[in-house]
Structure 1
């Protein structure tokens, strides 16, 4: 006869909830992420072609051509969304789930397609694979396609998939703050969308040291990029409404160049972005936010 030690039930140690605030942040970051991704993939396309991306020349299309491009783009994005969610579902099923698919609107803010399972728990690494598979897989295939067929049209699905992966990357960032032996399952209450993180070891567990500071730095950097993008876009719209449509921030030939937007009389827009300064300001914003949060926490105010 052998004695068995009863195993304690999993202990809830953290939760992630998709609140109205989180949904709003996802909308903003997804829009910024679309254009940032298109810019980054545009540099890849330019390198493949053996040229330079900037200045980016955009020809203003007539109504008929604009409608055709819009319809084609929407069709491509729809196919990417379907493939994105199917990849989520494939890996959920691989790890024991029974995925269902659908379309919803989060807090009347964020329209989204989803793949989800009910009553299934995953290890941290299993859910990370399920979350990141569409971003990694579609990006890899899209970049390979760019090499074979270097067309600007491929930038649309690549950027759309990256923007649609913002929520996945966000949740992956939360999970990476915890050890690999935690399990991830449904929240104790079903009122809010999200997940719970459960410890499977006696005594529970906590965040991996340093990850909270790193997460704050990433959040600050993304927030800084969003603020910069919204401010610059607002300047462009204001200039188009009351002026020439030309906005130049910094010296295009100097080190402190941030942005240039020129509307030419022959129906073209010339864009140029000072990527080094943007990266520097974004990194500075991330570091400042992380240190500020850490100081706030050290003073016991959080």
Structure 2
């Protein structure tokens, strides 16, 4: 899931950065130290690392609050995936309905976004983009699990465990285990194809279309930021064009959507065969 979370972070930071700039009129700055010596960049990186990891505590606590709301007793812990990737979790022995468990899964993403985005805009705290984007990236697995569970009937029951979810239902509700590897490859392939496709459309078709339409200048996104997508300028002496890193964000969005839709359709197709 690390690859999917990385794509999710790219998507979230692009969207939040663009939204912040549109709402406040100025791009978010992620420079925290005065630019006076070599340690400035190191300190900025350290602050960004802290901001990107501090979300873990409220994220898991919100999972725990949702668990308690439905009568469970939350337990918290940490683990290591693939021997190198640490992760935190909230779990319980309580049994949930499908819809209750979906609420438990989505609570951190919904609550932290609903609270954090207004705070970011009202106080112009551009630095909140980082923990909010990291929280969204951390919720990618929750979103994937939600999409998977929605393919099951609402009557199934679920038990959460640190290493997975046990689904309790009738034999006809059984679904084969979905391959995380397949989802990751779908996301990466979709993102790569989409990013290259958007780049080619903008780089080749963009100038031609704008020239035909008589547009002398157009900029999409904020230059020198991750939300910058495309810039075009035409004068009697020259035509200039540039494509920015926003292409990666668009590719990541399409890749994640493609992977989730493919995963959902696989589950639905299998359920139809079982029925």
TM-score normalised to structure 1 length: 0.60
Alignment partner of 2:133 out of 124, 143, 159: 159
CA positional deviation for 1:140:
1.1
Contact kept in structure 1, 2:105 and 2:146, CA below 8 Å? yes
CA positional deviation for 1:136:
0.6
Pair 1:194 & 2:178 matched: no
Alignment partner of 1:73 out of 43, 48, 67: 48
Contact kept in structure 2, 1:224 and 1:282, CA below 8 Å? yes
2:59 alignment counterpart: 84
1:47 alignment counterpart: 22
1:110 alignment counterpart: 85
Mapped to 2, the partners of 1:287 and 1:93 lie a distance apart of 29
SS at match of 2:55: helix
1:129 alignment counterpart: 103
Which stretch of structure 1 is more off in the superposition, 100-109 or 219-228?
A: 219-228
1:145 alignment counterpart: 119
Runs of at least 5 residues in structure 2 that lack an aligned partner in the other structure = 208-222, 225-242
Pair 1:222 & 2:195 matched: no
1:185 alignment counterpart: 159
Mapped to 1, the partners of 2:97 and 2:50 lie a distance apart of 35
**Aligned runs of 1:10-25 on 2, under 5 Å?**
none
Alignment partner of 1:172 out of 146, 149, 153: 146
Aligned residues: 226
CA RMSD, 1 decimal? 4.4
- 1:102-138 deviation digits (Å, cap 9, x = unpaired): 2211231431111111x32111111111110001111
1:242 alignment counterpart: none
2:72 alignment counterpart: 97
Runs of at least 5 residues in structure 1 that lack an aligned partner in the other structure = 1-25, 213-217, 233-247, 263-269
CA positional deviation for 1:81:
0.7
Mapped to 2, the partners of 1:275 and 1:219 lie a distance apart of 17
CA positional deviation for 1:274:
4.0
SS at match of 1:250: helix
For the structure 1 residues 255 and 50, does the alpha-carbon distance in structure 2 shift closer, same or farther, using more than 3 Å as the test? Answer: farther
For the structure 1 residues 41 and 98, does the alpha-carbon distance in structure 2 shift closer, same or farther, using more than 3 Å as the test? Answer: same
TM-score normalised to structure 2 length: 0.65
Mapped to 2, the partners of 1:142 and 1:287 lie a distance apart of 26
For the structure 1 residues 98 and 282, does the alpha-carbon distance in structure 2 shift closer, same or farther, using more than 3 Å as the test? Answer: closer
